[in-house]
Amino acid sequence: MVREWSRVVISLLVLPVVVTIAAIISSDPALILGIIFPLVFIAILLSLDKKAVLQITISQLSSDVLRVGEELKLEANVSIPQGFGLIVFRFPTSERFEITDGTNVHTVFKGLQPIERKYSYRLKALRRGNFQFSNIQYTYYPALGLLNKSEGIVPVNMTIKVLPNIRILKKSQIRTRSRYQVPRQSRTRLGPYSTDFVSIRDYAVGDPYKFVNWKASSRLTNQDKLLVNEYEREGLRTFIFILDRGELMTHGTGEENPLEYGIAFLLSYAKLLLGHSINVGVWIVPQAGEKRSHNFVLPSSGTEHYQRIKEMLMIAEPVTAESPLRLASQSYAVLPEYEQHEVLIKIIKESRPTIVIISNVTSSNLNQLKRFANMLLRLRARVSLVDVMPYSIIAKHGSMNTGLPLKSILLPMKKKEQYGLLPQAVSIVSWDPAFESIGKAVRSSLVATRLNL
């Protein structure tokens, strides 16, 4: 189209030149009138062939805080007072959003009259995070072809926050009857010792001498060893979640994988525990270049504390291959880092918490998990492992579709062998998020951690 218009303009330029030469040679005044029309027509066309002027604004017709699965509605107002040609717009979107209604690409032809248009489209949030929408892109194709096509952007500053799909768990959904009668009260730095007897154990540096059980100690053959009575503290129990975000947690799709399900599980579980005034702390694996203070939330309780946990998990991304924590021989990088984490070890020693590790157990990370669990058990913490299995997720988005949870196929075989290599004191919860709800996984974890709510 542009080439055709260029030929027309060239023809109109050649025509008056030829007519002028003929008029001069023949001295015929009538031929001079033939020059006027092409020149006037060219002048009109040249006045139209100007650079396009665009005024575009985008407004939100919905909240800028969404949950995964909710929709964002955007409306664009376009004003084009100047220009003559074809204009293609591309309104902003994100790879973590899916267009459900309308389109973000439009084409208009700017003629002689100014254009006022209004466009709207809907986006569905697929993943949690903070997303920046910026730069409306456009391309202008002048109709006459005298000007080259031009590209430009209209800056837009819009931030959308997408929260994980948290489940509000009701008491009827998670009511458990543990075989072990363990109260919600346990050793923690937040309260004095109670009179509730727990067990007899070896003396440790710092134990009050009034708790020494002299009768039990006298029956020992080793006279250098003392036994003490252990009592519950009056403070509530402490839970610490450790979230693995190594490469094994990315198996599946960008929106459905063990990491995304693990974050939703953690937030739902933490909200439940905080609702019962239980202290909750969270540690995530540090990424290369990140400050350690940005990768953990100390155990506490309350609504504001839940917001701190949520804000930290909002920006948690998988550990990349360039991370210095990556093990040289394996594609799994994580948990041994915590053995040198002074803050975590200090909390464990002081509060004797229940540790819930959220990971994807495979043969690649089994030895690291085993070593890490043994370290936690030596610190006398209760350890529970939630194995988020991605096999059904992969099958759902791949060519294989069994229609049944792959946990029922894998557990009797390789999974049970892997679990058997972990310390017996570690309680294991296998979770297939493609077939089992978060509520069911939380309930299984409560039973495994011997907590009665």
Rounded distance, CA 262 to CA 438, Å?
Answer: 9
pLDDT of the residue at 215: 86
**Averaged over 324-330, what is the pLDDT?**
33
**Averaged over 7-23, what is the pLDDT?**
63
User: Is 393 inside any structural domain?
Assistant: yes
**212 and 102 within one domain:** no
CATH code, domain with 299: 3.40.50.410
Q: Looking at residue 299, what DSSP letter applies? A: E
User: Is 101 inside any structural domain?
Assistant: yes
Rounded distance, CA 79 to CA 288, Å?
Answer: 46
**59 and 119 within one domain:** yes
For the cut 70, the answer to whether the pLDDT of residue 381 exceeds it is: yes
For the cut 60, the answer to whether the pLDDT of residue 124 exceeds it is: yes
Grade residue 232 by pLDDT with cuts at 50, 70 and 90.
low
**413 and 379 within one domain:** yes
**397 and 302 within one domain:** yes
**283 and 176 within one domain:** yes
Instruction: State the average pLDDT for the chain.
Output: 77
**242 and 226 within one domain:** no
User: Is 307 inside any structural domain?
Assistant: yes
Q: Return the percentage of the chain with pLDDT > 90, whole number.
A: 19
User: Is 100 inside any structural domain?
Assistant: yes
**438 and 296 within one domain:** yes
For the cut 60, the answer to whether the pLDDT of residue 244 exceeds it is: yes
* Number of structural domains the chain divides into: 4
**134 and 255 within one domain:** no
**265 and 408 within one domain:** yes
- Residue 73: closest CA among 95, 54, 99: 99
**Domain limits for position 58:** 53-163
**250 and 156 within one domain:** no
Taking only the tens place, the pLDDT of each residue in 26-83 is 666 665 666 666 666 666 666 666 677 788 888 887 888 898 889 999 999 999 888 8
**143 and 252 within one domain:** no
**Averaged over 391-410, what is the pLDDT?**
62
- Residue 129: closest CA among 103, 155, 104, 94: 94
Cα torsion through 263, 267, 268, 274, rounded to 10 = 160
User: Is 48 inside any structural domain?
Assistant: no
User: Is 47 inside any structural domain?
Assistant: no
- Comparing 61-70, 194-203, 271-280, the range with the smallest average pLDDT is 194-203
Rounded distance, CA 416 to CA 289, Å?
Answer: 37
For the cut 50, the answer to whether the pLDDT of residue 183 exceeds it is: no
